[in-house]
Amino acid sequence: MNLTGMLHGARLLDFVGFPAAEVLGPGASEDQIRQMIERHGSVFVKPVFKGGVGKKGKSGLIGRASDLKHALAEKERLYFVEHRHGNQVAKANGVTFEAAVPAEHEIYFSLSVSTHFRAPTMTLTHKGGMDIEEVDEAHIARIPFDALTGLKAFVVANALTDIGAPPEIISPLVQQLPKLWELYHDFGMTALELNPIRMRPDRRGKLTPVACDFKCGFDRDDARWHRLNLPDHLFTADTSDFEQEINQLRTHQGQSDVYVINERGTILAPTFGGGANSLVTEMLGDDAIISSDFGGNPPYEKMKSVAAICFKHWLAQSNVLFVIGGKSNNTDIFETFRAMADALREHFSKHGPSPLFVVIGRGGPNLVRGMGVFRDTCEALGLPYRIFGFDSAMSEVIDYARRINDWMKAGGRDEIAARLGAAPALAA
């Protein structure tokens, strides 16, 4: 849940009265662009990506133009540009025109959580305008502060003094930067980064910090960001229909976190517990369709809905339904297994049989009753199965699911399909 760029950033900064560079959105008219260039000498043209994508500048994705013709040419180049950074691939949809702010000083400022200090921490340098990793540590202040009192002016003043910041920038930053705490704290952010903040001189030479780029991350467990009334589509970039459907069931009782690993995978693995999720996803690799954590003792109705959605989207292509978790502490195995088994039964009733091998590994309260329900369901549906207790190493069970998957790919699926009278198609 990240947001980058000044298109929305400027509006957010305006909430707390922090000066920001003038910005025009994708719908700006030629007149507006021309007038902006006239006022500021030049404009930056930046592609608009959903979510957070970094290193745009380094990838040549920031254009600068000092006349309308060039500005429009940059608009054409960047409007639908594709950007790859790490594992993320993003496609732009629009550009912004941002007023150039001539300045001698560029500041880097961020607020985030430091696990080192275990407190909210400000990172500040007067050598900004570049990646923070490239700045000499001697010029960087990382200062934790009290969450209850927030970022205070003296914290900023001391930090700037400690890193030897030029005296003329200290006062304006001390006045303006603490405002950003309100934005960070009151609107559910986990991180806020302004880089650069340019120190714009007025006619008398007095400096004003002007934010020229904006990045922030929102905490999806914090409803405060809803106060900003940001359009929903900003955060839908990296969620599939399936994930969105599951996410609608997100409540505090019972996890319902999913991530699509491989849309063409063949093992559907509803997983219980954050630890199991890590191990399972790591070991299954691309065989897994989804990475999930459905632990936290979900009630029957929720578990059944989650399972039904999983089955609706993925069962047809699955070779193995792999239900896996460690020895649960409080997740009721009977309730969760009954819910999944009922969802499976109903899915078969509605969509007809699907060739499937069921592998289960689990421990926890009401274990045998839960396993019994799944066994009965498999028997009723004609599905082969193996159910392991917690005395089989989880990694061995995961490996077994993989071996079953290999066998299914090598003809097992067709055999089961023939017995069920189902079409073997769809799976890899």
Partner 1 sequence: MHKQGYGDFKYFVGISSLAQIATREDRVCVLNILGGESSEVTPVGHAWSGGNVVFGTSPGRSGQTLDTPAGPIPVYNSVREGLDDGHRFNCGVVYLPPGAARDGVAELIRVNPELTKIFIITEKISVHDAREIRAMAQQAGVDVFGANCLGVADSWNQVRIGGALGGDNPGDTLKRGSIAILSNSGGFTTTIAQYLRMAGWGTTTLVSSGKDVYIHYAAPEFAFALANDSRSKAAVLYAEPGGYYELDADFTKPVVACVVGRWKAKLTRAVGHAGAMAGGDDDAEAKERWFMEKFGVEGLYTPDNPVFSARGAVVTNIAHIPAALTAVMRANATLPDFEPEGSMDLKPWFGSNMGVALPEAIDLPVVDAIEPYRGQIRGLDRQLGTVFPRQSLKDASGASQMDPKTQVSSLHGVSMLQAAQKPLEANLGLALLREPAGANDQALIDVAIAAHVNLHGSAMLVAAEAAREAGNAPNAVLAAAVGIVGPRLLAPAQRFANGLVDALAAAGVRDATDEAFAVERIELGTDLTTDMLGDAPDPLATAMIRGVEARRARSLPLRWLLAQGGYPRADAVLAAIATTIGWGPLGRKRISRLSIQTLPSWLRLMATMLGASVAASAHEADTFCGIGRDTLIAECTLTEIAATALLGRRASADDLFAFRTLTGLLLTNGPGAISAQGAKGAVSADGPETPARVQLNKALLGFLSHTGFAHGGNGFEGVAFLLEQFADAELADPADPAHGLDLPAMAQRFATAYRAEKQRSKETGAPLRNIPCVNHPVFKDKPVNTDPRERFVREQLAARGQYNVFHDFYLALVQALHDEGVTRNVFCVNVDALIATLLLKLTWKSLRAGEIGTAELENAAFTAFLYGRMIGCAAEIDDHMNRGRNMDTRTPQSQVRFVA
Hey, which residues does 171 pair with through a beta bridge? none
- The 10 Å CB-count burial string (b at 16+, else e) for 24-56 is beeebeeeebeebbeebebbbbbbbbbbbbbeb
Residue 221 as a binder of partner 1 (CB under 8 A): the answer is yes
- Which residues, in sequence order, are CB contacts of 3 under 8 Å at separation 6+? 9, 12, 51, 52, 214, 215, 216, 217, 218, 230, 234
Q: Which of 152, 312, 386, 409 binds partner 1 (CB under 8 A)?
A: 386
Tokens of 65: 């133009």
Q: Which residues within the stretch 286-305 sit at the binding site for partner 1 (CB under 8 A)? A: 291-293, 295-297, 299
> In the set 419, 425, 426, 428, which binds partner 1 (CB under 8 A)?
419
Among 396, 423, 425, 428, binds partner 1 (CB under 8 A): 396
352, amino acid identity: G
Q: Does the protein bind partner 1 through residue 424 (CB under 8 A)? A: no
In this chain, which stretch among 17-25, 156-164, 314-322, 400-408 interacts with partner 1, using CB under 8 A?
A: 400-408
With CB under 8 A as the contact rule, the residue among 26, 54, 201, 384 that binds partner 1 is: 384
x/- map, 254-273, partner 1, by CB under 8 A: -x-xxx------------xx
Q: Does 118 bind partner 1 (CB under 8 A)?
A: yes
- Per CB under 8 A, does 128 bind partner 1? no
Instruction: Out of 268, 416, 422, 427, name the contact with partner 1 by CB under 8 A.
Output: 416
Q: What is the DSSP string of 39-70?
A: HHS-EEEEE--SS----TTTTT--EEESSHHH
Binding residue (CB under 8 A) for partner 1 from 88, 93, 236, 240: 88
Q: Tell me which stretch binds partner 1 (CB under 8 A): 166-174, 183-191, 200-208, 305-313.
A: 183-191
Which residue from 179, 208, 400, 409 is in contact with partner 1, where contact means CB under 8 A? 400
Tell me the CA distances in angstroms from 166 to 107, 170, 288, one per residue in order.
11, 7, 55
DSSP bridge pairs for 218: 189
Per-residue CA distances from 145 to 105, 176, 360, 375, 414 (Å): 25, 17, 48, 56, 63
* Total Cβ atoms within 10 A of residue 20: 23
Stretch that binds partner 1, among 29-37, 72-80, 143-151, 167-175 (CB under 8 A): 143-151
| Nearest distance, CB of residue 302 and partner 1, angstroms | 12
Residue 33 or 189 having the CB closest to partner 1: 189
| CB closer to partner 1, 29 vs 87 | 87
CB 422 within 8 A of CB 352: yes
**Is there binding between residue 146 and partner 1 (CB under 8 A)?**
yes
| Chain Cα centroid distance, residue 107 | 27
Q: What token pair was written down for 406? A: 């290999």
Window 27 to 86, contacts with partner 1 (CB under 8 A): 51
In the region spanning residues 319 to 348, those forming contacts with partner 1, defined by CB under 8 A, are 325-330, 332, 334-335, 346
Q: Which is nearer to partner 1, 42 or 88 (CB)?
A: 88
Under the criterion CB under 8 A, does residue 117 sit at the interface with partner 1? yes
Inter-residue contact 274 to 293 (CB < 8 Å): yes
Q: How far is the CB of 396 from partner 1 (least distance, A)?
A: 5
Query: Between residue 229 and residue 258, which ones bind partner 1 under the rule CB under 8 A?
Result: 238, 252-253, 255, 257-258
DSSP category for residue 129 = S
Segment contacting partner 1 by CB under 8 A, of 37-45, 61-69, 145-153, 173-181: 145-153
> Cα angle at 13 between 7 and 14, to 5 degrees?
95
Instruction: Compute CA 275 distance to the chain's CA centroid, rounded to the nearest angstrom.
Output: 19
